[in-house]
Each structure stands twice: as structure tokens, then as C-alpha cells.
Structure 1
């Protein structure tokens, strides 16, 4: 293993731009290569981030023997194919959420990673936010008693455009898998996988424009969650316990402050907020691990099971999406 982990970035969209900026803040990382379907875009991205190698196809990046870790930032529908190809090429993988759109595809890449002894993680950066980590510790310590109810949502208004990735089914669009995954992941963090899932929403062009979910647990605890592309949800969260509550006034996916029983906790964000997640990948790869205990394979599978159960109830499926 070299002194610095050499990363390759697949895709040059907005999330790739921000995450690559944070990658360059880590001292033990070199962003070595980037790929795009259009070589000029890869070259422009490379120039912006001082990346020495630009490729016009991700297969060329995966063939580069000097790349150790691949960050997959393509539209959702391409995640499985690119991740599988990267693992087959002997690369460790950090894949943007959702790691895949279907459970068979996620089982496929998890099994391949484990068989190959390669690190694979779904990039749910919320799990590494210091305040979310602290919240989990406080809840585990009984600071608010037993968790009885979680309210969380994430949504905004986005003008309908069939070509936009969030409205295009062929790209894995819809609110649930792009936005709703954050409230669902948050509920899983504190209550685990639900026993029951009830969902209601509206569909446009084969994808969900909005969805509301009620996750039920055997002891009566529950989570009320929502995501939307047609209304500006507060995008925060409240966790109610038997001895108090935790409030996330904004950004359930990346809070800058939380209020625990009236006491405010803050943290200074590193970069754009992705640094803790990226540092975890580096540490786990260097340690020879195939997964992170903070975002293990089993958790990705559990979250996708919940998303799938909700999706089925509003008529959302990606099984027919061809990459």
C-alpha cells in the first residue's frame, strides 16, 4: 500500500465536485484520476481539482493500476454496474447513496466485496457527522430515556423536468431514494429496522414526487418520515423519548447543531462536511477492513429493505430500469 491512498472519481457532477474538494483536505490521500463520459468534462474537472489523470470512460479509470480507491458519484441507476466493475478491477469502493436501487444488486456487490477482501461502503455521510455520532451516544446513555417517536423529513420544490436526474426514472429519480433515504437512515440509527412500513405518496412519470412513511416497531415506538420534490419540508428532525427530546432544527442529513433537552450542541464542520466519512474510508482501507462498523453492509441492506417496502406501496420500482 502506498504512503497515500490514490483515489479515482467516477463522474463529474455536483456531488463529485464537493466531495473531491473534501478529499483533497486529507493529508494521506491523493486524488489521482477522474472519469466522465465526455472527456472534456473530465479534463475540466481535473484542472479545477489539480488531478493528474483524466479519462473519457470509467472503464479506463478502473484499468489504471495506480488507483486504489474509487468514489462512485454517477446517477443512481449506474451505481451497481460501476461498483461491480470497480470491485472486479481490485479497487476499494465508496459509492454514493443509494448504493444500488434493488436488493439483489446490493447483495451482489456486498458478496463480491467480501469475497474479494475489498472495502465497500455506501456513502451516507450523515452517519459520520460528529453531532449525529454524539446524538447516538447520548441516546444510548439514556439521556432522553427510551426513544418512542421520531419525526424527520427532507424535501424541497423542484420544477418538473423529465430530463432532470431527480425526475427521470431511467436515472433512478424520485424523492424516496435520493432524499427519503436520510430520514430512513436516521430512524434506523436510533430504532433499527422496523417491523412494519406504511407509505403513501404521489407519482409522476414513474417516480415518487413525495412520500410519507410510518415505520412501526414491536414495542409501539414509531417513526414518521417524509420526503418531497413538490413541497419545502422543514428537513429537520425531532426524537422524542420518555425523559426528554432531541431537536435537529435543520438539515437532518448534516446538522450543525442539535438541542438535547434544551441544551444546544454545535460543531465546526470540516470542509463541506464529508471529511469525517472520507477519513473513515481511508482508515478502514489502511486497516484491511471490508466494511465500516459505523455504516456496515448489513445496515445498507436493512435501509434498502425499508426503502423497498415503502416504494412498493406507492407503485415505485426500479427493477425495469436498464443501465
Structure 2
């Protein structure tokens, strides 16, 4: 399918072919008919992307601070690679469209194939996967052209709701671009008197033709006109829909507002304000967040959990519905706002018109994609003939691009990468283009089912790991899966059963076992006897609330990250733990806590303490491992510094073992190395992590680690030699 994207680094717009996406249970797949270019938002995005690196830094000082911190903790080379990876991306454009439902997820309510819907938060593409609560049925009386305004109109509607002005009140709309014009028309349909203010005469005239009083901004003269229109009181509310770095629109709004009026910021404007004007009139400054309640809420958008109408009457979906109803009743008209229509194949011309024509207001793209579901793949280059094992990647996120692919190539896999797939397709295409991977496949099932794929690398979200591993093993593939292997005991049991009944190799991404410094430490410890004590401290750092790790479907940080440290501790000791204690910080949902201490007891008397903390200073290195016993003290500091018995060892390479693990995977698959007990240790690690979660949730006080296979002793041996 065709999708419109923009280079993050240079701002170039292009049309690319990507596989048709597959909806989740809470999404619908939509064949798009019209999509709307938001003049203000998309101009701003393009301008930022086209700007120099210095200009980007000035526009986003928060990101500059993150880069500086990463350079201090991870080193300049790693940071530069991450920055280049971020800049060398294509981003989808667009967020307001309409089309026909092709397929509906099982958890979408009231949506079915063949239904016309207005969509939000999905880009300019022939097919979109849209959250069910952001796909709103379109009445028969509303054209595709009008329905495509749905998401942008909801932004205007949310600003109007924040103003809280009753029938008969007067509002001023400052900034008469597309969102401003929609705000004017929605306010008029709500029974309000509307004054539109802009620097351009033609937009003021357009507002007047719609029934408002359009004024060209002229400072004191405009203020005087507004006072005359409001009997000397000023307006009841001002909706600021301008887009400028200047704080002028907000300052001017304070001058035309009545005492205790509301000022609602809808557009992206400067906010360097003089307190006195707001204090003297006790003005209420508010902000409207996108389409309305539910926007940026993971439960609403991703999980499909709607708010009860008795508590939240007007959600993002409700605002789109209201706009469509107003158009259907004839109280709001928008067709005259459309200045240009282009076919999607001419999308670059549409953006050129948006940039070159100062009177371009609502520019739309049209589509004619079939409404029947289809599975497809995109061949980027001729397939390479090879007698060796061919590999396919499931997942194309930042970790895959910045860390995994470089390590995979360094481990000798460069010529064996045959296909890649991702949830949305665009990231897979970008990764394929940059890494000479010939084929982009539509779904994980399609990739696993291909006869020309022998090895499957699973790098997708955590909740998909166990199912994909099981499917790939049953399809006769060798499988590498990033941690975690499974999120529940049932998932783990199913994976183990699939491994036992098939002949394919299975590897888990517990790469720290294979770090050069860990290998050196194990050789030293192997020379002595007796128990060891491992103290492992992790300065993990806090994650924003929007991070996907906070999605309970993904298992949280203990299952998803702490398993790494459990694995390394047991690998260093050399046996599986027999007892697990876990203590949480008491913040957050049980089992998803972020601050946790785990104590592992081993049959030989060894112990390991894992302290995972999110509240440390950002300048503190992330990982510190100290091993005492067998006559030695070994310190590994963030896998960049190794100290043995108080002396720094400089001849051992730094790194966390990604390349070494992937080289081992390759050697095993091609037959140059026999399969060891690594996978058995990975099963034990996963059971241990699940036992730690059980201890935190109160399901077990001292969970024991069950045998890996029937008849095995609980202390499955982990080889000390690599």
C-alpha cells in the first residue's frame, strides 16, 4: 500500500510502498477514501524537520539535555549512533481521515466491515489501523470530504468546550487558519456570537461569510471595535487558534477579554506573559488537549476502555460524533474550506501547494484502495541466492535498529537477512532499506510461514514473544527471542513443550552472560571452590507514564528487564536458585512495581541480591556487579570497567555481549558448535522472574523453582565455561 512519510532529518516528503497493516483486537483496519492535511500542524512539522540540526536543538532543548546525559553515561560513540538512528527515520504524516472498515478487531464495539468511519491519529495511507474509539461511524448525509475533517474539527470542538460559554455569550477566535475557521463555525452552531481576528484580510472575510464578525488585527483599533460589539464588557472567552512562536496572540487576548473571562490556548503559541494583565482581570488561562478526553490515554486509545458518560460526557470520540451530527443536520458546512484535492500518488504536490499557496487552507488527499482484506509483501531488491540459513526479523523498533542489527551483522549474519516485518509496516521498510534486507512482509504469521526463512528473530513487544516462539518452533524454524521469553507460567510451559516436540534450536536474548568481562570473571571464579555472593545494583531511571513498559499487557519491568539481572547472577553462581524473595517499593500495581530488591538463594550456599532502583541520580552508571567468593573480589562497572581483587583489568573488551551471543547462535545453527545447556538456564531464569513477581503479589512467600523438565533436579547446572 502507499503511505506518505517525511524524513526526520531533512524534511523530504515521499510516497513509499509498505505492507498493509494488521489490526489488533481493539483496532479496525480502514481503507481510506479521503485524508486531510492540517495546514498549521503539518507545516510546523515540515519546517522543524527541514531545519538544521542546530535549529532542531534550539526548538527542543529537552531532547538536547537527554542527549548530553546519555553521552555522559553511555559514551559519545553510543550516543552518536542513537542520535543518528533517530534522525535517520521516516515519520508518517497526517491524523484526520475517513474511509471504509475492512476488518474490525474482536474488542471493537459497534464497528463492522463495510461501515464508513471518520478516523483520528492515523496517517495518510491507503490503509490505516485505527483505535476503535477513534473510528466514528459517519452518517449517510455526510460526504467523505466533510467526514475527513473529523479529527481536526474535534480539536476545535475541545477548545470550545474548555471555554464553557453558554448560549448568548460572545467568543473571540484569534487566528483564523483551518482550526480557527472550524472553531468559528462550531461556535456559531452552538448559539454564540463570534468575533474572528486574524492578520490576514482574506481569512477575516471567510469568517464573516460564515456568519461571524471578521476583523483584521490592528491593535487598539481592533480592541475598540470589540468593546463596541460587546457593550464595553469584552468577550466572555477567547479561543487562541494561532500558530506562532510569538506570545502576542495571548497578550492581545487578555486585552479584549472581560473580567474573569477564559482564555483557551488551542494553537501552538508563545507563552512569555505579563502577569499583571491576568491578575488585574483574574483571567482563567486554559489549554485544550487535542481531540478531547481520551487522547494520549493508553487505556482509551490502545485498550479500548471508554469513559462512563456520567463522568466524562464529551470524550475524543464524542467530539468527533458531535461534529458529524452538526454537518449531517446542516448546521455546519465545511466543503467551501477545501482549497485543493490531490490523489495520494500526488502527495508531494499537495505539500508543495500547502507551502507555496498562501491561501491553501484545507488540502485533501483522495484514495481508491480496495475494501477487501489482503496480505502482501514489498520486495525492495532481488532476493539473494544463498545455500545458508536465511533469517527473518519480527520487530523493527529502536532497539532493533540501534543495537541488535549492528551486533547481528558483526556476528556474521549480514548476508543472511532475508525478510523483516513490524506491526505498522513503515518501520520495517525503513529498517530494510538501511540494512539491505530484500523483503518487507505484512505480518509475523506470513514471515514464519515462508519456506525461505530458516531462522526467526523475535524483537516485538513482550506480550507477543511466547506465542511467536511457539508458532515458529512448530513451523520448523530456529528461533532467537529477545527477553522476556514468557510473561506467565502457562506461556512458559507452552514454549517449553513446543521446544521439546520440535528439533529447532531456541535462544533467548540474555546477552550479559556472554559479555567479555563476565567471561573473564567466570574463569577466575572457576579456579576456586565454595559459595559466592553476588551484589547487583541497577540504576534504572524513571520512565514517563506514556512508556509502553507501564502497559500491564507487557508484563512490567521485572518480567521484562530484571530477568536480565537474575539471569546473569545465576550464570555467575553456576546453578539455578532454589529460593526467591522479593520486596517492592510499594508504588504502583503489584507485580508492575519499578523499585524492587530480589534475594536469590542457591543450593550450594551462594546468594545473589539484585537491587533495581529508579530513583538514583542520572549521572550514576546503570549497572554495577560485585562478586565475592572463592578467594576473589570481582567488580564489573557498567560493563566498561573490570576490577579483580582491587586492580583494574584493562585487556578485556567492554560491551554487554550482544555480538558474542549472536555469534554463538550462528555457530550452533550451522553446526560448528553443539547445543549446550543455555536454553535450560533461560527456562530457569524465566521461572525465577515469575517467582519474584509471585512473591511481590503475595501469591507465594518463598516460591520454589520447579524443574525444567520431568525428572530434572531443581539445580539445573549452568556451565561455568563459555
Measured against the shorter chain, the TM-score band is 0.7 to 0.9
Q: Deviations over 1:216-242 (max 9, x none)?
A: 235543211122344457521101115
Match of 2:599 among 205, 208, 214: 214
- The question of whether the paired residues in 2 share the 8 Å contact of 1:155 and 1:235 is answered with yes
- The question of whether the paired residues in 1 share the 8 Å contact of 2:395 and 2:458 is answered with yes
TM value normalised by structure 2:
0.40
Tell me if 1:227 matches 2:612.
Answer: yes
Closer, same or farther in 2 for the Cα pair 1:262/1:230, shift >3 Å? closer
1:153 and 1:218 map into 2 onto residues whose CA distance is 23
Which runs of structure 2 are paired with 1:287-298 in the superposition (5 Å)? 287=671, 292-293=675-676, 295-296=678-679, 298=680
- The question of whether the paired residues in 2 share the 8 Å contact of 1:12 and 1:41 is answered with yes
Q: Which has the higher contact order (CA 8 A, sep 6+)?
A: 1
TM value normalised by structure 1:
0.86
Which residues of structure 2 form unaligned runs of 5+? Answer: 1-385, 700-722
Give 1:25's aligned residue.
Answer: 410
Secondary structure of the equivalent of 1:38? coil
2:582 and 2:536 map into 1 onto residues whose CA distance is 14
Q: Deviations over 1:154-180 (max 9, x none)?
A: 23222331x422211112222x12332
Match of 1:136 among 500, 517, 522: 522
Deviation at 1:100, TM superposition (A): 0.9
Which residues of structure 1 form unaligned runs of 5+? Answer: 318-323
Give 2:681's aligned residue.
Answer: 299
Larger mean CA deviation between 255-264 and 127-136 belongs to 255-264
Pick the structure with greater CA Rg: 2
Give 1:94's aligned residue.
Answer: 480
Which runs of structure 2 are paired with 1:1-323 in the superposition (5 Å)? 3-17=387-401, 18-27=403-412, 29-142=415-528, 146-161=530-545, 163-174=546-557, 176-191=558-573, 192-201=575-584, 202-205=586-589, 207-218=592-603, 220-231=605-616, 234-250=622-638, 255-265=639-649, 266-268=651-653, 273-287=657-671, 292-293=675-676, 295-296=678-679, 298-315=680-697
1:168 and 1:136 map into 2 onto residues whose CA distance is 37
Larger mean CA deviation between 103-112 and 36-45 belongs to 103-112
1:135 and 1:307 map into 2 onto residues whose CA distance is 24
Secondary structure of the equivalent of 2:594? strand
Q: Deviations over 1:18-72 (max 9, x none)?
A: 2122222344551111101112221111112121111221111112211111110
1:211 and 1:308 map into 2 onto residues whose CA distance is 14
Secondary structure of the equivalent of 2:535? strand
Question: What's the Cα RMSD here?
Answer: 2.5
Deviation at 1:132, TM superposition (A): 1.1
- The question of whether the paired residues in 2 share the 8 Å contact of 1:121 and 1:292 is answered with no
1:157 and 1:260 map into 2 onto residues whose CA distance is 28
Closer, same or farther in 2 for the Cα pair 1:149/1:60, shift >3 Å? same
Closer, same or farther in 2 for the Cα pair 1:242/1:65, shift >3 Å? closer
2:654 and 2:635 map into 1 onto residues whose CA distance is 19
- The question of whether the paired residues in 2 share the 8 Å contact of 1:128 and 1:294 is answered with no
2:496 and 2:685 map into 1 onto residues whose CA distance is 14
Deviation at 1:278, TM superposition (A): 0.8
